Every structure is written in C-alpha cells, then in structure tokens.
Chains A and B, each alone.
Chain A
Amino acid sequence: MSKKKDITLNINGRDHNLSVDPRWTLADTIRDHCGQTGTHLGCEHGVCGACTVLVDDSPVRSCLMFGIQADGKKIRTVEGLANGSEYHPLQKAFMENHALQCGYCTPGFLMLATGVLEAQPDISDDELNDVLSSNLCRCTGYANIIKAVRAAREEMRKTS
C-alpha cells in the first residue's frame, strides 16, 4: 500500500476529513469512506455512467477520478438532490414518468441530467438525447427516462 494522504471532500455541502490511499477511486471514496452509497458502480471503466456525480457542477464519472483529486472540490451526489423533504424536479419527474425500474442506474442519470440542465436550461431534445446516451440502463428501454428529463427541463425552466 502506498502512503495515505489527508484530504477534505466536500460532499453535498458537508466536509469529510479523510486519510486516503491515492488509488481509491472517487466513487469508492464517496461510497466506502464517506458512507454515501447512493452513487453506484456498474462497470468501473467509464462506460455505464452509474457512478456519475457532479464535481464543481460538471457531471463526471466518479470511477475515473481518484478521491485524492477531488480534495477541496465541491461534490454533489444523489443524496444532495432533494431540498429537505422536497424532491428535485428531476426526482419527481422520474417517479411520475416511471423512468426507473431497478433504480440502479438512476442516481447516475439524475446527476448527469442535473448537471446538463443547470448548464444548458434550453438544451434541445436532440442534444439531450446525445448527452443521455452516455449512460446505460438495462431495465427501462430509456423512453421514460427521456420523457422524465424533458418534463424536468420544462419544470426547471419555470422555476429558475
């Protein structure tokens, strides 16, 4: 094992002071050392998107970053999406549109969509399809995920 280093991960506004092995991926660090298991692992090689989180508001694959690289950065995960007991428009839209079955891919899709809708509130349907095609879902056949994200886009435009 290599030398551990002290870092601070800010996840959903809360600081976690940790001593990390540099080789721990950000995903493992968040899940196994900060107790935030909402972020899932589906492949650990960057293809499935289940591990998507926001780092400084950009959606990234947390399996392709090391925890140590996120020292001092602002990380947002699915656990931080709702505002207290109030669901985020995307969470609501996913439930209303039956955009999840097993729910394993859901946190990744939610964070990806959050990142892109915050950055581009007026994103077109085609561009949105292109962005969402980065994540895999094995249950839903995607149609309802598309509907949900489009519905949330309208909702988020209204409230922003």
Chain B
Amino acid sequence: MKPTAFEYHAPTTVNEALALLAEHAPNDGRILAGGQSLVPTMAFRLARPTHLIDINQIVELEKLSVEDGALCIGATVRHAKFHTPACEGVLGDLLTEVVNNVAHYPIRQRGTFCGSLAHSDPASEWCMVAATLDATMIVQSASGERAIPADEFFDTVMTTTLNDDELLREVRIPLLSNDSVYGFQEFSRRAGDFAISMTLVTYRLEAGKIVDPHLGVGGAEDRPRRIAEAEAALAGQIPSDNVFRAAANAAAAAIDPMEDHATNAQYRRELTATLVRRALENTVS
C-alpha cells in the first residue's frame, strides 16, 4: 500500500498553483489539500497522480470570513476550524454541530472543507451542507474564474463539474437569518464512519408557518441534493408530527438510493425517512 511515484510541487501563491495545474493536469497532475481522501486512494493505488500540487503553503487560501452575506471558506480551511463557530449566528452553530460527524478528530486537523467538496464523496457532510444551503463554488484556472452553484457542482459519485485544471478556491455559503431553525441527522454503523444516509433541514417560521424550507439528503444517492418534494410538503405548513412525517415520506419516495455490498436500496430509503423525520423533530425541540 505504497503510493506510486509523483513529482511534488509546493507553490506559495494561487497563481503559481494555477500555472502548475495548467501544466500538469493533462497528465493527471492534482491538487493535494488535506490529503485525507487523496492519500488513502493513492495507498490503494486507485489514484496514481504523476504530479501533486500541494496547496497547503498558500497563505491566501486560509481565508475564512463573512463577505456579502456569505461565509467564505478558502481552500485550505480545515474541518477543525469549525469546532468553534466560524461565524456568528445560526450558520456558525449549524457547521459546529455538523463538523463533529465529519470523520474523526485527527482527520479533521488536516482535511479541508473545500477538499471534501472537490472529492465529492456522496456521504460527505460538507457536500450535503453545500447542496442544502445553496452554496456557490468559486473556481479558478489559469484562464479564468467562474462561480458554480451547488446544484450544478455535484455530478455523481466522486465526480464534480470542476475541470481538471481548476482549483476550487473558495466556497461561499449564504448566512442563515437569525430566525432560521435547522435539524441535522445521520446514521453510520460506527462512530466517525461515512454515513449510510444523512439529512439537513432549515426553514423559518412566518406567522407560525414554514417558509423557505431547504431539505437536503446525502449519502443515500450518488450525490447530495435538495429534495424538492419534501420541501413542498413543508412549505406553508404549521410544524407538526403529521407534516414532518409527510415530508419524510416524500423525501424517501423521491430518492433513488444507491446499493452497495453492505446496504440495499430499501434499507437506505427507510433509513432516510427516519432521519428526515428526526431532523425535522430537532428543529422544534
């Protein structure tokens, strides 16, 4: 389980990194961020990059700040940064709750938020957060910059619409208003494992009724996404057990669950219904 040989580059500026990426991406040159997904994949020799462009020394990528109503998370911001709220308000609290489910403490010391999104494991909590909260990905290559909305970013299992020569420079998550509530649930076989299914829900109440519901599911399908059917079941309703169950059932019915050697579709679907219901219950408890 030793990685194949590669050339190592450690640029100190984004431009330098982009130039290296432009040069080496055609030969499977890749970004090395926290390495917490890439290095295991290399150990199994499933990934065999010929060049690694280590971005850990690029100071400008450490950015973690609120700009224009969004939390901006630079490419080298580690999971551990969210152990305490990264911003004031509901979003900061939400991320602090979620981060405890991302892998384990030592892995969170190195793994990055943006790396999770670029890697795009269907069961990544951050990917689900980004999808649910309509994050925007700011991606950059030597030839320019573009912004990709979350619903166009995640493609399928470990595949995004990021081009090989593009760096995911930062992710912007819109802040949540102070009257937003949220609920998060996931289920995995053991502590710290990738979840079999997970869900995140946020909404606000206006005159006692649910408005602006965002309900995302991760881990169950090949990519995380908002589930419109479940959101429709919530919008305009007064929170109640029945409403929550209806939304949970709508989510379960709407998804197309993955199957693998350990988990079949039926189990994932039932589990998703349970998790959605519980996440919704969390919003009122």
Contacts and interface: CB of A to CB of B under 8 A. Distances in A.
Q: Do chains A and B touch in the complex (CB under 8 A)?
A: yes
Interface of A: 1-3, 5, 21-23, 25, 28, 44-46, 49, 52, 58-61, 63-66, 68-69, 112, 115-116, 130-131, 133-134
Nearest to B191: A133
Given A23-B3, A60-B106, A134-B107, 7 more contacts: A21-B5, A63-B39, A64-B40, A131-B104, A133-B192, A134-B105, A134-B106
Interface residues of B, number: 29
B27 interface: no
Given A60-B106, A64-B36, A134 B192 contact: yes
A97 to B, nearest CB: 21
Contacts of A3: 7
Given A45-B43, A46-B39, A63-B43, A68 B8 contact: yes
Contacts of B106: 49, 52, 58-61, 112, 115, 134
Nearest to A49: B106
B180 interface: no
A116 B2 contact: no
Interface of B: 1-8, 10, 35-36, 39-40, 43-44, 52, 54, 56, 80, 100, 103-107, 109-110, 191-192
Contacts, number: 86
A137 B65 CA distance: 39
B6 A22 contact: yes
Contacts of B7: 2-3, 22
Contact of A60 (B3, B8, B44, B109): B109
A65 B110 contact: yes
A1 B5 contact: yes
Given A45-B44, A60-B110, A64-B40, A116 B52 contact: no
A149 B7 CA distance: 41
Nearest to A111: B106
Contacts of A23: 2-6
26 contacts: A1-B5, A3-B7, A5-B8, A22-B7, A23-B3, A23-B4, A45-B1, A45-B43, A46-B36, A46-B107, A58-B106, A58-B109, A58-B110, A59-B105, A60-B109, A61-B107, A61-B110, A63-B43, A64-B35, A66-B8, A66-B35, A69-B54, A115-B106, A130-B191, A131-B105, A134-B104
Contacts of A46: 36, 39-40, 107
Nearest to B105: A131
- The 4 A-B residue pairs with the shortest CB-CB distance, nearest first, are A134-B104, A22-B8, A45-B40, A133-B191
B274 to A, nearest CB: 23
A44 B191 contact: no
